[in-house]
Amino acid sequence: MERGASAQNVFWLGLMVIAGIFAVLYLRSSVFPGPIDPAVLKYFSPQLVKNGRAYSQVPRILYIVGFLLQAGFLVWFVFGGCARRWQDWLMARTGQNYWGSVFLFFLTVWLVLTLLNLPLTFYNSYVWQHRWGFSTESLPAWWSDYFKSTALDFLLSAAAVLIVFWVLNRWPRTWWLFGAILFGLWLIVQDVLWPVVVAPLFNHFRPVDNPAITGMVHDLSLKSGVPVKDVLVMDASRRTTKVNAYFTGLGKTKRIVLYDTLLKFPLDEIRAVVAHEMGHWQKRHVLIGTVLGILGGFIAWRLLAFALHPWYTGAGRAAPQVWAVIQLFFLLALFVTNPVQNAISREMERQADQVSLQLTQDPQAEVRLQIDLAKQNLTDFSPPPFIVWFGYSHPTPLQRIKAMQGAGK
């Protein structure tokens, strides 16, 4: 038993050390981003590059501060013995009501983590965006969105904790396997239902009504062999001036969504955007991402079973404090695997860019699109290498521009 506990201690220590190193390096790169790559000045003005770096700096710092606050609380709560004492207090106050104590313990952790992150979220998504002229959202509208997303998070988290504890107690030896299976099923359901159930709670969607765009979509669909049925426009302008598009859904809920702010772009650039999203469709990136998520889930749940052993061995019912340990594990695990997740995402974006070039045969429009997107969204035109490696889901604007120009030669 001592040897096993020692192995778990080493695992937890290693996980926290790696997360700490990544957090320090990310924070250092955010505060001291280093010199600007002179190559970006060929496409963007020095002032624009300077503004892009200044705009990106604060959200990066807030991201790491938020992670450190939540991780710090959970480490103190779990390893400082507070979780055990709080669990015992709840059990005593509820008359040893097991499920009542589990729920109240979850509620405590959820409230603390939510409140720790609230001021950072507010400053980043409301104050900072207004300061830079991106947000078009009123304060009441921001709070409405926040409460809706928080309520949804609470409901899903509450359901998750009840299911997890039911699985722990129902299959005390193989709970991790059933947990991984249920997690995989949830990923599939989420991919199918998110576009038609969750997204409409926050935005309105309508079919593209511009004949030039619908004709272009039809031509690209025939050329790519992608049976695009739904290209929708989202009312993003009621929140932001930023521009974006995305491909989402599985099966019959697959669709391409364009921000309404994108419709102001030249038609050949919109064509490049649609072709890029068709590239994700053609390459089955949502399906591949889901499969990889399921495989990663099996690995994560098996590691969790190992890491959880000092708190739960399968003998008796799982104590309420186990939830705090699970929260800490997934917070750290998702953080330290960020580089892997984002490397996969960047590769998918490169593949979609290549498909877009093949479909449009217009590298000049592709390059102009990347320049205009970077300008409109005020991206960091020359981000620090560590931040790209750790946190970028897309190649940098300069990397995409060079790839487009190279393909056009």
- Mean pLDDT value of segment 155-163: 96
> How far apart (Å, rounded) are the C-alpha atoms in residues 73 and 79?
10
34: left (phi over 0), alpha (psi -120 to 50) or beta: left
**Known binder of ligand: residue 349?**
yes
Closest by CA to 326, choosing from 170, 120, 147, 163, is: 163
- Mean pLDDT value of segment 259-280: 95
> How far apart (Å, rounded) are the C-alpha atoms in residues 318 and 58?
41
**Contact (CB, 8 A) for 148 and 202:** yes
Residues annotated catalytic, as ranges: 277, 353
> How far apart (Å, rounded) are the C-alpha atoms in residues 210 and 206?
12
16: left (phi over 0), alpha (psi -120 to 50) or beta: alpha
Confidence band, pLDDT 50/70/90 cuts, at residue 72:
very high
Contacts of 319 (CB under 8 A, 6+ apart): 84, 87, 311, 312
Please determine, for residue 2, whether its predicted confidence score (pLDDT) is greater than 50.
Answer: no
Percent of the chain at pLDDT above 90? 91
Which whole-number Å values give the CA distances from 352 to 75, 246, 290, 341, in the listed order? 40, 12, 17, 17
Please determine, for residue 309, whether its predicted confidence score (pLDDT) is greater than 60.
Answer: yes
> How far apart (Å, rounded) are the C-alpha atoms in residues 91 and 278?
54
**Known binder of ligand: residue 2?**
no
pTM of the model: 0.93
* Rg value, the chain, Cα: 23
**Known binder of ligand: residue 280?**
yes
Please determine, for residue 1, whether its predicted confidence score (pLDDT) is greater than 60.
Answer: no
